[in-house]
Structure 1
């Protein structure tokens, strides 16, 4: 597991725990501490996500990947706000614990998926294969013109 991949997992766990602390808090100080910790996890998580996107997307479509991912993220924020906002009739605690549940589900799905297949390692294998046999082409051995 690489550093950005581990960062995503660790920050998801930390922000989920901080959200659970907010759900259990009986004082404003604990709520503020939990919110502060969640805020601290956002920057490393976003940076790791950008690193993973950059690493895994082919260079020729990288711009498309980033803009599409940004659009999906903004759409998810809007949908999440609508869904969780409508859940407020059940109480703030319910909404917070639903968020904790989503953290657990997301983490479980990510871990169950296993380590990602790296585009970079596939590229390296291809380059190594080509470098090992430089005098042959798909059409056959190279011949020099007289």
Structure 2
């Protein structure tokens, strides 16, 4: 999980915005939604930014220590330990399934349909090739990650 990008006024998970990271984002969202549904986690909007500003204002902490404190707040808010444990126990094979999807025809059809709906006809072939290249690289990297030493 990663914190939201507060600098982006309109964050999205579009294939044409995330390119290489699109399959990762879909997988991550799927894991989070399953975790929330199964554990009955309810939305908890966190509008209490004073905790974060309190860390920012601390002169006794260097930058790395401030990041560690921000991480502690975020991990607590998101129940990160419970989430990781849940994923390890219940969703261990999901990464391989998402990889299979991203390498398959259904994903390619999604890519082509998205580019066709988004770009002018004269630019479609260029962007289909571009996004196929980027998402294809993610597939290669993910295959290496899943078959690497840590996967054993």
Please give the range of the TM-score, normalised by the shorter of the 2 chains. Answer: 0.3 to 0.5
The TM-score with structure 2 as length reference comes to 0.32
Higher helix share: 1
User: Which structure exhibits the higher relative contact order, with contacts defined as CA atoms closer than 8 Å and separated by 6 or more residues?
Assistant: 2
